[in-house]
Amino acid sequence: MKHLFNKTHYSPGELSKGGKILTYTGLMACLSLFLFPVAWMFFTSVKSLDEIVSNPLSFFPTTWNWSNYLEVFQNHPFATYLWNTSWYTVVTVVGTVFFSAMIAFGFARFRARGQTFLFAIVLSTMMLPQQVVMIPQYLLFNSIGWVDSYLPLTIPAIAGSAFLIFLLRQFYLGLPKELDEAVTIDGGGYLTIFFKIILPLSLPAMATAAIIEFMFRWNDLMGPLIYLNSQELYPLSLGLANFTAAYAATPWQLLMAASVMAVLPPLTLFFFAQKYFIQGVVISGTKG
Amino acid sequence: METNTAPNRSRKPLKHTSIGARREEKYFWLFISPWLIGFTVFIAGPMIASLYFSFTDYAIMGEASFVGLQNFVNLFSDPLFYRSLFVTTAYAALAVPFSIVLAIGLALLLNAKIKGQAFFRTFFYAPSIISGVSVAFLWMWILNPQFGVVNSFLYEVFGLTGPGWFTDPYTVIPSFVLMQLTAVGSTMIIFLASLQQLPKELYEAAAIDGASAWRRFRNITIPLISPIILFNVIISIIASFQIFTQAYVITDGGPDWMSYFYVYYLFETAFFQNRMGYASAQAWILFLIIFVLTFLALYVSRKNVHYEYDK
């Protein structure tokens, strides 16, 4: 894993002058195509609706209406949405990553009959479209009165994510078994090994897993759409999706201000953890 | 980065008489118990239930009444089923090849020896993490027929009246594809990682033989990364067939049902119309489609995908 980004593998070598110009032109063209929408979102979020409608091509705002951001909070339960999403995401991520690590450790470290078979089942559940189990799950949670609460969104997630189990198991297989033996000699059991050795050593892998899970939970719309009815329970995704319902004409400046605030937490997290994140995607994408 | 397969330890014959092995087995079950419980309650159980419901007429209120194959018979004479299948297939047929080609292209650019590599990698990757409702709104705004920047630009600069994008039946699917293209970052990163593991010697030998850059790409790079291409194609097909959020936020399945994607239809059947039996049948057809397409991708590619380098 650690030698992925160093220079010992194939690299195309020095580019010719023409090649260099071509490469940079390509990169800059793509970069502007990728960055433009995000910049557009930000600048729209501080314009007035008048300016947006009368001069659709102005890139920079003539006046900076930071009050748009305030208005989102004043006229909408935006703070509630933000709070709901935040605690729900954090609880789910911590639970999912911890239990996935435990399960992954089980698959990576112990010899047991049926182990290979069970792991094949874990992998095959990644292929199963969520929609197949969605309806019976809904009926189940409906019959035990969990609908319109966060329980259906958190409990199944916390029971382990196939993708994260796979990702973390790959990492654990790379850890030397001698570490376990050292603990065993000192009289520690498997739980000591897991908590004192494996968890601290796998912090980078766990960070990757946490970010992947975070992005998924933060952006998920279908789950909340199915299970939540009361507006005071809405997460950001659902609150945003219903944002325009109260207006005759779309208030684009408010919509963009809300959107900026919705993408800011994932972007910030990605900025600080991108090294782990990219590595994690790489491991899961190229192994197995 | 050698491929880790199933743990070698498990291949050794187990001595179940030994205390150590039995203890290990006990801990194995203990550690995987959350998955075991979760799998039974939230996946295996629901799968069996879903299969049963697909043969019933069930509206939450009241009992599920067994109707045999009636749901499937109805499905195959349902024009909306064919429409949803058509628009989803059309979307996948455009989104998969375009995003794979763009992802390979970007990965090649990022693999070149250039300044600011880390910077470019970060910025190409970032858009793929901010998917969801906010990005759907962003694109709805950019492609807005009246005030959106794209059409305003076309009008002001070229005097052209741009299309309605999401509001025109003919451009709505391409608009979804266009939007999806900015999210190729995760596919790109996987290609980049595989490019970095290619053996240097082959390229040096080819360069000595006077092979052009295009020939080296065509005859060395593509065959060597073919397993990764296949992996990404399969992942993209599965994701494309499950497109939902964008359609829910931007078009509500319109205009003229031209973005009435399969999962959107399934969702409406189940949660707006409360037809749980019919929706279960739809879900199993989706499962079948994804299964067949994955199998097909593996089958078609068996002659063109090279695994030799791994061995």
**Interface predicted TM-score (ipTM):** 0.85
Contact A57 B152 (CB under 8 A): yes
d(CA B7, CA B18): 20
Give per-residue pLDDT as tens, B56-80. Answer: 999 888 888 999 999 999 999 999 9
> Over 60: is that where the pLDDT of A287 sits?
no
CB B138 to CB A136 under 8 A?
Answer: no
Q: Tell me: the pLDDT tens digits for A214-258?
A: 989 999 999 999 999 999 999 999 999 988 877 777 889 999 999
Using CA atoms, how far residue B129 sits from A268, A271, B59, in Å, is 11, 11, 37
Say if residues B274 and B60 touch (Cβ distance below 8 Å).
yes
Residue B260, pLDDT above cutoff 90: yes
The per-residue pLDDT for range A166-192, each reduced to its tens digit, is 989 988 888 887 777 777 777 778 888
Q: What is the pLDDT of residue A200?
A: 87
Is the CB of A31 less than 8 angstroms away from the CB of B228? no
- Per-residue pLDDT, A165: 94
Which pLDDT does position B189 carry in this prediction? 84
Those residues whose C-beta lies under 8 Å from the C-beta of residue B107, and which sit 6 or more positions away, are B188, B189, B191, B192, B195
More confident site: A206 or B56 = B56
Highest mean pLDDT (candidates A29-38, A71-80, A271-280, B116-125): A71-80
pLDDT at B19: 75
Question: Can you tell me the distance from the alpha carbon of A285 to that of A11, in angstroms, rounded to the nearest whole number?
Answer: 20
As to burial, measured by CB atoms within 10 angstroms (0-12 exposed, 13-18 middle, 19+ buried), residue A111 is middle
Mutate to test the interface with A, among B42, B71, B268, B271 (most CBs of A within 10 A): B42
User: Of the candidates B138, B195, B196, which has its C-beta nearest A41's C-beta?
Assistant: B138
Determine, for residues B34 and A99 on separate chains, whether the beta-carbon distance falls below 8 Å.
yes
Among chain B residues, the shortest Cα distance to A235 is held by B133
Contact A31 B124 (CB under 8 A): yes
Q: What is the pLDDT of residues B136-173, one digit of tens each?
A: 999 999 999 988 889 999 998 898 888 999 999 999 99
Per-residue pLDDT, B146 = 86
pLDDT (average), residues A127-139: 92
Q: List pLDDT tens digits, range B208-219.
A: 888 888 888 888
pLDDT of residue B2: 40
> Is B60 within 8 Å of A225 when comparing Cβ atoms?
no
Bigger pLDDT: A115 or A20? Answer: A115
The alpha-carbon gap from A200 to the nearest alpha carbon of chain B, in Å, equals: 17
**pLDDT for position A1:** 38
Closest CA to A159 of A215, A213, A96, A101: A96
Percent of chain B with pLDDT over 70: 93
Q: What is the Cα–Cα distance from B183 to B234, expressed in whole angstroms?
A: 16
Residue from the list B126, B248, B294 with its beta carbon closest to the beta carbon of A267:
B126
Q: What count of CB pairs under 8 Å joins A to B?
A: 306
Condensed to tens digits (0 to 9), the pLDDT of residues A52-61 reads: 888 888 888 8
- The model carries a pTM of 0.88
Distance CA B129, CA B116 (A): 21
Q: Is the dihedral of CA B151, B153, B156, B157 positive or negative?
A: negative
